[in-house]
Amino acid sequence: MIKKIGIIAKTQHIKAGESLKELITWLKNRDIEIYLDKETSGIIGEKSQYKRADIPSIVELIIVLGGDGTLLSVARLIEDKDVPILGVNLGVLGFLTEITIGELYPALEKIISGDFTVEDRIMLDACIYREGKIAANYCAFNDVVINRGAIARIVDLEIKINGLYVTTYRSDGLIISTPTGSTAYSLAAGGPIVYPTMNALILSPICPHTLTNRPIVIPDDVKIEINLVTPNEDVLATMDGQVGYSLNYRDTIEIKKAKNTIKLIQAPGKNYYDVLRKKLKWGERL
């Protein structure tokens, strides 16, 4: 029986305040302890002592109210906390936030009683080295993207996997994606759709100068080294499209599977293929 639930909402969403109040009332009627971060509590005029990063360590379940972007930001807060996430979409159906507000309460009845299943999703650990020293370290749930900044020019990226030279991409950039992120930017760049629980990583060059440079799927137990060999260019490494770091010439980005996984609660009565059909409009006549 789940008794402690954290709620993190997309504070800018027009429906967030009303949906949050309804959810809090519903949970309180079932004697559930509710924990809100400062930003989330602010949208209903309340105050909280907790930072958003505090929530995963004090609850048994996190409910995310918003969209896929909100869930991505929460996933990066989990670290080594073994807490499942339930994604609730306040707009259209998402790949990660599969449950709508209308479906939430019947699903929650089962979930708080312990009747639910989770999927373990891998994350990426990205370590940036500058002159042989660690300059920054990040985690990502969907992808790490290396590309040009304001001016769109070709960038040269030398790639090694487990120390073995693979190629030097001449392209607008490179996407290193988890299976979860295979339906995000990687898909738009021509990458494959990979079932989200598979043990794989995807490398997708962005508009490669050589057309034979195609996306490649590799095992998730390897270490990927990316060396920026384009001098004097404005290049960024971006995690999940939300956190960025400026790269210098000869910086190295080391990417591997993170030690910890994200536990996503599966929406009752739905499966991944349902989401693919609806989001990608498979089978619809245009």
Mean pLDDT value across residues 18-26? 96
Return the bridge partners of 74, or none.
none
Buried b (16+ CB within 10 A) or exposed e, 75-103: bbbbeeeebbbbbbbbeebbbbbbbbbeb
Among 31, 37, 68, 115, which one carries the catalytic annotation? Answer: 68
198, 224 Cβ separation under 8 angstroms = no
pLDDT at 281: 86
88, 103 Cβ separation under 8 angstroms = no
Q: Is residue 169 very low, low, confident or very high in pLDDT (cuts 50, 70, 90)?
A: very high
Q: Is the confidence at residue 168, as pLDDT, over 90? A: yes
Give the integer Cα–Cα distance in Å for 118 and 234. 40
Give the integer Cα–Cα distance in Å for 128 and 46. 39
pLDDT at 151: 65
Task: Give the pLDDT confidence of 182-239 residue by residue, as tens digits.
Answer: 999 999 999 999 999 999 999 999 999 988 899 999 999 999 999 999 887 789 999 9
pLDDT at 152: 64
The CATH code of domain 4-117+266-280 reads 3.40.50.10330
Q: Is the confidence at residue 15, as pLDDT, over 90? A: no
pLDDT at 91: 80
pTM tops 0.95, yes or no: no
Q: What are phi and psi of 254, to 5 degrees?
A: -105, 120
Domain ranges of the chain: 4-117+266-280, 123-259
Task: Give the pLDDT confidence of 81-96 residue by residue, as tens digits.
Answer: 999 999 999 987 788 9
Give the integer Cα–Cα distance in Å for 143 and 139. 9
Q: Is the confidence at residue 284, as pLDDT, over 80? A: no
Same fold, 4-117+266-280 and 123-259: no
Task: Give the pLDDT confidence of 101-156 residue by residue, as tens digits.
Answer: 889 999 999 999 989 999 999 999 999 999 999 999 999 999 999 998 766 678 99
In the residue annotation, 68 being an active-site residue is answered as: yes
Q: Show the beta-strand stretches assigned E in the chain.
A: 4-9, 33-36, 61-66, 85-89, 99-100, 118-130, 133-140, 143-148, 155-161, 164-171, 173-177, 200-206, 216-219, 224-228, 235-239, 243-247, 252-265
Mean pLDDT value across residues 250-258? 97
Q: Could you tell me which CATH class the domain 123-259 is placed in?
A: mainly beta
Give the integer Cα–Cα distance in Å for 74 and 41. 16
Task: Give the pLDDT confidence of 34-81 residue by residue, as tens digits.
Answer: 999 999 999 999 999 999 999 999 999 999 999 999 999 999 999 889
